[in-house]
Chain A
Amino acid sequence: MKKVELRNVCKSYDGPPQVVTNVNVTINPGEFFILVGPSGCGKSTILRMIAGLESITGGQLLIGDQVANSLMPSERNLSMVFQNYALYPHLTVKDNIVFGLHVKKVPKEERKRRCEEVAAMLGLSDYLNRKPRHLSGGQRQRVALARAIVNESPVCLMDEPLSNLDAKLRAHMRAEIRQIQRKLGITMIYVTHDQMEAMTMGDRIMVLNKGEVQQVGHPLDIYNHPANPFVATFIGSPPMNVVDATVAHNQIHIEGIKPIDIMDSQLANKEIIQVGIRPEHISFASKEIEDKRRNIVEVVNVEVLGNETVIAFKLGAGEWMAKWSGQWRVQIGDRIPLEISYDAISVFDKESNELIKSPKVSDLHVFEHEVI
């Protein structure tokens, strides 16, 4: 188990526009580390630089304690799972799995033993003599996984390994990959564009946008304290509602709703800000709540997901979403009262995009381990 460290890593493909800019991160031994970001933000590029499949045009890459910038891919002692699995169509499942062991001239008996061990772990024992084209998508995925772990490399890289699977299988494989990683203790660097995968699988995640690191941290810290509006809207589903707002007379003014009283001094001498609120932090305003905190809005869409309801409504020029638990029998066109409290909002600086204030109510939804 090795650490992987990136120091000011940059990348430009034959030309000035940098597709990856100044990435600094240390991935700890045995950690499940996730690179997440919208498509085209440079995730694959970073992963391929770590693998040695792309050259690093600036900065340093360390694997273990060794500078790895100029090492050949084979010298980096890692394994990789590709998005399209990259299985050899002319080889059987068994030969695909032991391909790397065969290259390294591992003796035949040991090859067989390790192959069977890994196949048993992934439920592939019955398919060892099939060709990949006779497998389902999920089974192919497992073969790719088996091939990556049979080498027992200390570092494993995965580039969107689940994106070709259907939703149910994806959820299943998420848990399985996570378990295997824990069991083997390998350092995992996992690329995905799916914030849900990032949230559920990662020990830590790194959010990227346009080749720049937006935030690195524990999934829940990122969820509760997003560093900027991009992270706030990228992580979480439905995304956080973010709008421009102004501060005046110790109140926040947002187009379309009543002013919100400021309760502390965090917003002192700010004038123009961005306000964000997570859909689940918008609350229904019951009749007892005083009128100046009740906002009546028009519903434009309702999705009831069994035990929770996502309501889209018009607010000012835009459209917001609220997510409430329970089945709310709301109709499109209904006008419903909402409350947006000061404790529930995040505030970002308008110029620097930095987080000024995160919501307090999120604490209400946290159940510490002791409670259980």
Chain B
Amino acid sequence: MNGQPVPQKTTTPMANVNPSGFWKRSKNFRVAMLYLFPSFLLFSVFVFYPMMKTVYLSFFLTDYEGFPSLFVGLENYAYIFQSESFRKSIIATFIFVLITVPFGVLLALFLALLANEKLKGIGFFRTIFASNMGMSVAASSVIWLFLFHPSIGAFNQFLATFHLPQVEWLLDPSWAIISVSITTIWMNTGFAFLIILGGLQNIDEYLYENANIEGAGYWYQLKRITLPMLSPTMFFIITVSLINAFQTFGQVDILTQGGPAESTNLIVYSIYREAFINYQFGPASAQSVVLFLCILVVTILQFKFGEKKVHYQ
């Protein structure tokens, strides 16, 4: 970000201690504000204003264009908490988070540990493991849509060759959430892998050499050196994965549209439907506020309990 060049008068420190010159004394502050201004502006337009507006709308009923028409106080909240559909959405979201975050992070950790070994040609695997980072949500969802296809999809074809029963990946309510989770884990692996690999490579090689001399085996080193040294990275990637999982939208929209029987109606998708299909901007805003509070609470809990286990250098 480019701050405007500030005309600087070269003053000695002594000259700054002039009690009468408030204008002079606040100079550092004003310069700082000037540098911060662009980010304040961007955040205000794209984050703070929409946030405020959402909270505001959650107290109103709106017309179909989204303009507030009737103040209803907390009734929108009462409505969503009584709604069966919202409760299902919350449950589906938590199931989804509980599947995708642990498995996604563990898979990325596993791949990163493999790719961190000093083997010939390991660079090839590093590239492969990280490569799906460059793929859009839409493109990868479409690929998975084909893989999950009931008759021509690769998974069912595979099952068929071993004469196993066919699975309705996206049509069976109990399978659909798992299928969406698998897709999500796959899509997030590249990023998590890259971050964790970076964390692994930051660990001083001498720590392992010393452990080798002292006779520590692979698992001992993993438990006593690698994981503790990696904990700041893991903490970061778990936080990011959690927040991402709560905000999943694209793959749901393409794979299942929230179905079947609302089993994959994750909360962001539910908000989208409420607002842009049912034109209920008030209840949709209330859901958004609830989502925001959920993420806030989870993140605070994580910082409170997780950070104790993190060893910063």
Contact = CB atoms under 8 A, between A and B. Distances in A.
A209 interface: no
Nearest to A83: B206
Interface of A: 51-53, 72-74, 76, 78-80, 82, 84, 86, 88-90, 99-100, 103-104, 133, 147, 151
Contacts of A78: 213
Given A88-B207, A90-B228, A103-B220, A151 B311 contact: no
Interface string B222-245: 001100110100000000000000
A51 B311 contact: no
A282 B214 CA distance: 51
A364 to B, nearest CB: 47
A88 B225 contact: yes
Given A89-B313, A103-B220, A51 B213 contact: yes
B256 to A, nearest CB: 43
A66 to B, nearest CB: 17
B214 A74 contact: yes
A359 B153 CA distance: 90
B311 A90 contact: yes
Contacts, number: 59
A133 to B, nearest CB: 7
Which of B214, B228, B313 has most A Cβ within 10 Å? B214
Contact of A53 (B204, B209, B231): B209
Contacts of A80: 209-210, 213
Nearest to B204: A86
A129 B210 CA distance: 21
A100 B204 contact: no
A86 B207 contact: yes
B214 A103 contact: yes
Contacts of B211: 99, 103
A104 B224 CA distance: 14
Nearest to A78: B213
A82 B206 contact: yes
A249 to B, nearest CB: 61
A82 B204 CA distance: 12
A90 B206 CA distance: 15
Contacts of A100: 214-215
Contacts of A74: 212-216
Contacts of B215: 74, 100, 103-104
Given A80-B209, A99-B210, 9 more contacts: A51-B209, A53-B212, A76-B213, A80-B210, A84-B204, A86-B204, A86-B206, A90-B229, A99-B211
A79 B207 CA distance: 13
Contacts of A52: 212-213
A52 B209 CA distance: 10
Contacts of B214: 74, 79, 99-100, 103-104, 151
